[in-house]
């Protein structure tokens, strides 16, 4: 199940007006002076109790109790004069974000995945280049998996605008009972290829009495995280690039999951088959959440690594992390960066990893600590939680998101249903993406 909700993006006069208001606010007070301010004006450590406000566009920080337990209390212990506050939300959409801005709600750090950034942060000018602040705070970017940093620079048009807090869980879940039922060996714990995975899947796609069993399902998130690093739309010219040989290769790779499947098994989402029906042997959710452990009750399961692509240098899929953004309207920017730096420190990331958070750091010891404090992961192959080598991060923007997350999966699934062929599907998808680009550009020109 994809952990991020998809909501339509609405850009127009309201956004423009709010952006102007933000620009005026940022220019008006010396509380927003950047790193170029003189050393005596830089607030390195708060001398007095100072409130920092943390806003999340995903459900991780919505629960104040959870936030305080995992982040707020450790932050207060490190910096006793920081008073962490969560921004209260009833929903997370453009209208609510505009209401927060209009009410002058303080925001210091904003947590957002890529799509949330494009829809709820970028349109309101709520982010900025953080590299000068990171240099001032002596934050070592080499500690992070480089693909995470590269992806964020892509979002920022070349500027680093966020620090990764965690990656999406990236592994294959498998039902051991189905493997046992049909006498098929479990997946390897360390590495295997896509060809090997699909070969195993075919052995597990069969009927047993009146019950259909299926080998593997791959979430449509595969397209935006594809191991070929296909850029679906050129980030500068905005020309469609997926109606090509590489686009066909990526689509055919996705369609292999449906080999031998009956009509019932042609669902584009495998979470129900895996968790409820329990007729799916392997589920590659590419963002599956472990926040609902009750789904695993009575399920004999384990973890296998995402397959590698030998012809691309044994890479896995592209990263898709949650980033922390320094709010452009923060009145305590240096202090906010200190909090961001602490949240990505080895010490706190180790604690988070033990609880089941997937670290964005390269540190192998932190990765090994994954799930050690969680009954859910006891005895599981947690080494499979993060890929050994990510695929290079492709460019990511509004057009690429709409193409890879919504339009292409819809048309390629029509191929699985037998309603069209792959070449026709790519042409239809290209036409729809071009119309979306034209509509967005027309709206922005008004």
**Hey, is 300 helix, strand or coil?**
coil
Nearest to 87 by CA among 113, 66, 112, 57: 57
What is the structure's pLDDT at 41? 38
Q: What is the tens place of the pLDDT at every residue in 105-155?
A: 999 999 998 889 999 999 999 999 999 999 999 999 999 999 999 999 999
HEC secondary structure over 158-180: CCCCEEEEECCCCCEEEEHHHHH
| Distance in angstroms (rounded) separating the CA atoms of residues 394 and 366 | 26
Tell me the HSE value of 191 on the side-chain side, using a 13 A CA sphere.
9
| pLDDT < 50 regions, the chain | 1-21, 23-43
- Token digits for 265? 């098994």
Residue with tokens 């220019």: 27
Of 113, 16, 125, 17, the residue nearest 58 (C-alpha): 113
Calpha distance 122→136 (Å, rounded):
24
Give the bridge partners for 217, in sequence order.
283
The pLDDT of residue 59: 64
State pLDDT tens for residues 288-330. Answer: 667 788 999 999 999 999 999 999 999 999 998 999 999 999 9
Give the length of the chain.
446
pLDDT of residue 258: 96
- pTM value is 0.86
Two tokens, residue 248: 């066909």
Report the DSSP beta bridge partners of residue 282.
Answer: 174, 216
Which residues have C-beta within 8 Å of that of residue 335, sequence separation ≥ 6? 43, 46, 50, 52, 82, 108
* Alpha-carbon gap, residue 247 to 336, rounded angstroms: 41
Start-to-end C-alpha separation, the chain: 37
Residue ranges and CATH numbers for the domains of the chain are 13-168+321-344 (3.40.190.10), 172-318+392-445 (3.40.190.10)
Per-residue confidence (pLDDT) for residue 53, from 0 to 100 = 96
**Residue 248 — left, alpha, or beta (φ > 0 → left; ψ -120 to 50 → alpha)?**
alpha
């Amino acid at each position: 199940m994809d952990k991020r909700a998809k909501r339509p993006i609405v850009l127009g006069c309201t956004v423009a007006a709010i952006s102007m208001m933000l620009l005026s606010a940022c220019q008006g007070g010396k509380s927003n002076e950047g790193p170029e301010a003189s050393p005596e004006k830089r607030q390195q450590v708060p001398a007095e109790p100072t409130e920092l406000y943390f806003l999340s566009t995903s459900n991780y920080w919505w629960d104040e109790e959870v936030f305080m337990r995992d982040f707020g209390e450790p932050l207060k212990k490190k910096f006793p004069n920081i008073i962490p506050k969560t921004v209260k939300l009833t929903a997370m959409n453009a209208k609510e974000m505009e209401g927060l801005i209009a009410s002058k709600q303080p925001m210091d750090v904003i947590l957002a995945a890529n799509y949330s950034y494009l829809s709820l942060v970028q349109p309101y000018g709520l982010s900025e280049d953080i590299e000068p602040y990171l240099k001032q705070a002596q934050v070592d970017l080499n500690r992070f998996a480089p693909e995470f940093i590269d992806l964020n620079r892509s979002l920022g048009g070349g500027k680093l605008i966020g620090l990764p807090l965690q990656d999406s869980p990236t592994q294959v879940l498998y039902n051991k009972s189905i493997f046992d039922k049909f006498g098929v060996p479990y997946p390897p714990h360390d590495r295997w290829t896509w060809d090997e995975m699909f070969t195993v899947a075919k052995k597990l796609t069969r009927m047993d009495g009146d019950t259909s069993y299926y080998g593997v399902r791959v979430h449509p998130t595969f397209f935006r995280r594809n191991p070929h690093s296909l850029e679906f739309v050129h980030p500068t010219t905005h020309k469609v690039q997926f109606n090509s040989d590489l686009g066909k290769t990526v689509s055919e790779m996705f369609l292999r999951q449906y080999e031998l499947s009956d009509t019932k098994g042609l669902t584009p989402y495998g979470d129900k088959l895996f968790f409820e029906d329990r007729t799916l042997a392997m589920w590659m959710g590419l963002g599956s959440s472990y926040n609902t452990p009750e789904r695993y009750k009575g399920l004999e399961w384990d973890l296998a690594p995402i397959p590698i692509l030998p012809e691309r240098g044994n890479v896995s899929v592209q990263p898709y992390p949650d980033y922390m953004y320094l709010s452009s309207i923060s009145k305590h920017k240096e202090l906010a960066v200190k909090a961001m730096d602490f949240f990505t420190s080895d010490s706190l990331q180790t604690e988070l990893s033990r609880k089941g958070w997937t670290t964005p750091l390269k540190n192998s010891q932190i990765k090994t600590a994954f799930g050690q404090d969680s009954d859910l992961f006891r005895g599981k192959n947690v080494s499979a939680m993060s890929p050994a080598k990510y695929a290079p991060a492709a460019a990511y923007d509004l057009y690429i998101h709409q193409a890879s997350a919504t339009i292409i999966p819809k048309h390629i699934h029509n191929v699985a249903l037998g309603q069209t062929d792959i070449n026709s599907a790519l042409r239809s998808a290209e036409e729809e993406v071009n119309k979306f680009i034209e509509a967005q550009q027309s709206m922005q020109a008004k």
